[in-house]
Amino acid sequence: MALYVQKYGGTSVGTPERIEAVAEKVCGFRKAGHDVVVVVSAMSGETNRLIDLAGHIVDEPSPREMDVLISTGEQVTIALLSMALHKRGCEARSYTGAQVKILTDSTHTKARIRQIDGERMRADLDAGRVVVVAGFQGMDEHGNITTLGRGGSDTTAVALAAALKADECQIYTDVDGVYTTDPRVVDSARRLERITFEEMLEMASLGSKILQIRSVEFAGKYHVPLRVLSSFQDGEGTLITLEDDSVMEQPVVSGIAFNRDEAKVTITGVPDTPGSALGILKPISDANIDVDMIIQNVGADNRTDFTFTVPRNDFKRAIDILERTSSQLGAREVSGDTGIAKVSIVGVGMRSHTGVATTMFEALAGEGINIQMIATSEIKVSVVIDEKYLELAVRALHSAFELHQPERDGGDK
Ligand code: ASP
Ligand code: MG
């Protein structure tokens, strides 16, 4: 007997038939004797539809009202799923985020969860009911409805699993696990049996959009075992977990992630004085623009060039801000490029291996691909290249690191 928190995403509840299929699955777990808390997303396309509706009224809707609006999608699916469960003789109750006291801060449209009161859910579970909770939403201390950012139902699920000390948080989605890279780009991409939180975090933040990044952070922090599986086919999926010491030899590289959603901005000829990086980046962060890779080159004349990447849809804002900064700091020029892509190799095994970056650069050079920016962390090497060569780069790296080969189980266990 285990307690599972299961999250079903938008495609998994995209039609009444699919909602019925989810109900079947959940009933199966109940019949096997498990306790289940289900978190659902809105039916696929619904959140976009709601956002679009608001756009027909005003260009910049009030964030508070936006949350009232976009949280409705999930309220539809919890009710429908509960009805489908009842129809199968499975006792269930649906709840909005506020009803199960998912308390968040007041940052509308990207609120953070502060606290969850598991009491009501536990009482239902004890009474033999399935608890069905609307993902993506909560309530602030003043009783306002909040939402957790796009894809936020994943975070709801992990947070509930942490609060209820669930045995596993299972994210049911339209893919059957986490792959070595996007199978649409590389035919031989392979499903991973397991991956560490750290690797998943890098993969997710680098654009493998299976899970909301925040949900992985949360799971890592509270040690919630997280499993990604398909709603549509049986299988073990991929378990995201702590590093496993019983696996003697971790693969050096576990996966290749990529991201086409970034743009590059450059400010050249900035006087090289203490505080110049701050002067450039603070206005950007004050505008809530996420900065990713940063490089700074010092030139000969005590001036420095500064290049960084931002989300592509913030490109224009970033350039506008930099133009202003540039005249304030007496810099030379501001330029940018949206035709870039970032490709990264990720693996905890890098910690104990040398020459990993060299293999990467060799593979790219072998294809004649120019590297524009490089960044590394303990378990990742990222490069920015011309977007045109993205797929070629991913394929070259996938084979250079032999990711099509099954995982070695690393000798004695
Ligand atoms: N419905 C929300 C969205 O599309 C939340 C989610 O699906 O996780 O972003
Ligand atoms: Mg999602």
Is a pLDDT exceeding 80 seen at residue 12? yes
Measure 161 CA to ligand 1 centroid, in angstroms. Answer: 18
At residue 413 the predicted structure's pLDDT band, cuts being 50, 70 and 90, is: very low
At residue 409 the predicted structure's pLDDT band, cuts being 50, 70 and 90, is: very low
110 lines ligand 1 (CB under 6 A): no
* Best residue for ligand 1 mutational test, from 78, 150, 212 (most atoms within 8 Å of Cβ): 150
375, 368, 371, 365: which is closest to 345 by C-alpha?
Answer: 375
* Best residue for ligand 1 mutational test, from 11, 153, 231 (most atoms within 8 Å of Cβ): 153
Q: Name the E strands within 110-225.
A: 113-116, 130-134, 137-139, 145-147, 168-173, 194-196
Return the percentage of the chain with pLDDT > 70, whole number: 96
381 lines ligand 1 (CB under 6 A): no
73 lines ligand 1 (CB under 6 A): yes
Phi-psi region of 269 (alpha: psi -120 to 50; beta: other; left: phi over 0): left
Is a pLDDT exceeding 60 seen at residue 248? no
Say what the pLDDT of residue 353 is: 86
Write out pLDDT tens, residues 67-100: 999 999 999 999 999 999 999 999 999 999 999 9
10 lines ligand 1 (CB under 6 A): yes
210 lines ligand 1 (CB under 6 A): no
Report how far residue 47's alpha carbon sits from residue 150's, in angstroms, rounded to the nearest whole number.
9
151 lines ligand 1 (CB under 6 A): yes
255 lines ligand 1 (CB under 6 A): no
114 contact partners, CB below 8 Å, separation of at least 6: 103, 104, 105
Tell me whether residue 246 is exposed, middle or buried, using C-beta atoms within 10 angstroms of its C-beta: 0 to 12, 13 to 18, 19 or more. exposed
Q: Please, which residues bridge with residue 132 across strands?
A: 38, 94
Measure 44 CA to ligand 1 centroid, in angstroms. Answer: 8
Say what the pLDDT of residue 249 is: 62
* Ligand 1 nearest-atom number relative to CA 212: 8
* Ligand 1 nearest-atom number relative to CA 148: 5
Is a pLDDT exceeding 60 seen at residue 131? yes
Write out pLDDT tens, residues 98-128: 999 999 999 999 999 999 999 999 999 999 9
Is a pLDDT exceeding 80 seen at residue 403? yes
Nearest ligand by distance to the CA of 47:
1
Write out pLDDT tens, residues 44-66: 999 999 999 999 999 999 999 99
Q: For 319-330, what is the mean pLDDT?
A: 95
Mean pLDDT score of the chain, rounded to an integer?
Answer: 93
Say what the pLDDT of residue 174 is: 85
Q: Name the E strands within 16-124.
A: 35-40, 92-95, 102-104, 113-116
379 and 203 Cβ atoms separated by less than 8 Å: no
Measure 24 CA to ligand 2 centroid, in angstroms. Answer: 21
Measure 8 CA to ligand 1 centroid, in angstroms. Answer: 11
42 lines ligand 1 (CB under 6 A): yes
* Ligand 1 nearest-atom number relative to CA 73: 1
Measure 97 CA to ligand 1 centroid, in angstroms. Answer: 14
The CATH architecture assigned to 249-402 reads 2-Layer Sandwich (3.30)
Is a pLDDT exceeding 50 seen at residue 410? no
Write out pLDDT tens, residues 181-235: 998 999 999 999 999 999 998 887 666 678 888 899 999 999 999 999 999 999 9
Is a pLDDT exceeding 90 seen at residue 141? yes
Say what the pLDDT of residue 412 is: 33
Write out pLDDT tens, residues 354-367: 899 999 999 999 99
153 lines ligand 1 (CB under 6 A): yes
Q: Please, which residues bridge with residue 341 across strands?
A: 385
325 lines ligand 1 (CB under 6 A): no
Q: What is the CATH number of domain 3-245?
A: 3.40.1160.10
At residue 297 the predicted structure's pLDDT band, cuts being 50, 70 and 90, is: confident
- Residue found by looking up tokens 């003697």 in the block: 248
47 lines ligand 1 (CB under 6 A): yes
N-term to C-term CA, the chain: 27
Whole-structure pTM value: 0.84
Say what the pLDDT of residue 411 is: 35
- Structural domain boundaries in the chain: 3-245, 249-402
Which DSSP category does 9 fall into?
A: -
